[in-house]
A and B are shown apart, each in its own frame.
Chain A
Amino acid sequence: QKEVEQNSGPLSVPEGAIASLNCTYSDRVSQSFFWYRQYSGKSPELIMSIYSNGDKEDGRFTAQLNKASQYVSLLIRDSQPSDSATYLCAVTMIKAAGNKLTFGGGTRVLVKP
């Protein structure tokens, strides 16, 4: 079992709709959870951080964390063609020292005009 799992996609979403991305993780005591956006040929860009159960909203992005279910999700509201990218879920594992992140395989999102 992979430590951080994501559906590889592509997730095809009409412009203006909500894109829903999911991520599950294996380490029950993981502490910190992140979503990165990576455009083709570019490096990952941090878009959301979440540390406690519940929802966290930032602009059109909402991250949702459920530690009991070991599940973190990202919602993109009013999806735009510029949101087309690969979204990487990353988790800090408790057994690791410092800020070590473990990444999922990424979900490719395609927003169609």
Chain B
Amino acid sequence: SAVISQKPSRDICQRGTSLTIQCQVDSQVTMMFWYRQQPGQSLTLIATANQGSEATYESGFVIDKFPISRPNLTFSTLTVSNMSPEDSSIYLCSVGGAPDEQYFGPGTRLTVT
């Protein structure tokens, strides 16, 4: 499976600021996804990052809050904008394998104060 890295691994941010999380894959992949895992909870899909077009967001997530870029088949970014303490979570990118499998990056642990 692909090797996936994320930057930063963790960060502490002040409310009202924004953080951009990077996801890098060591091979070209068609499907990339961004998830959120709130403390003690399971994973919730934020959006599918589409190469060359706008991301597809899940219900409850909007582009203004979570803008996503996917400039090529190995890289994507997720920005968490205008942060509040409720945004404190682990943010995970994943890549799609076949058939339907997904492999996760190490995650970014975000704390908003």
Residues of A within 8 A of B (CB): 31-32, 34, 42-46, 49, 51, 88, 90, 92, 97-106
Contacts and interface: CB of A to CB of B under 8 A. Distances in A.
Which of B100, B102, B103 counts the most chain A CB atoms within 10 A? Answer: B100
A90 B101 CA distance: 10
Contact of A88 (B1, B42, B56, B105): B42
A17 B1 CA distance: 31
Contacts of B101: 32, 34, 46, 49, 99
A44 B104 contact: yes
Given A43-B106, A43-B107, A49-B101, A98 B43 contact: no
Nearest to A105: B42
A75 to B, nearest CB: 20
B48 A98 contact: yes
Contacts of A34: 100-102
A6 to B, nearest CB: 9
Given A51-B99, A92-B100, A98-B96, A103 B31 contact: no
Interface in B37-96: 41-45, 48, 56, 90, 92, 96
A50 to B, nearest CB: 11
A18 B106 CA distance: 29
A43 B90 CA distance: 9
Contact of B102 (A42, A46, A97): A46
Nearest to B109: A41
A8 to B, nearest CB: 10
Contacts of B106: 42-43
A71 to B, nearest CB: 19
A90 B45 CA distance: 12
Contacts of A44: 43, 92, 104
Which of B45, B90, B101 counts the most chain A CB atoms within 10 A? Answer: B101
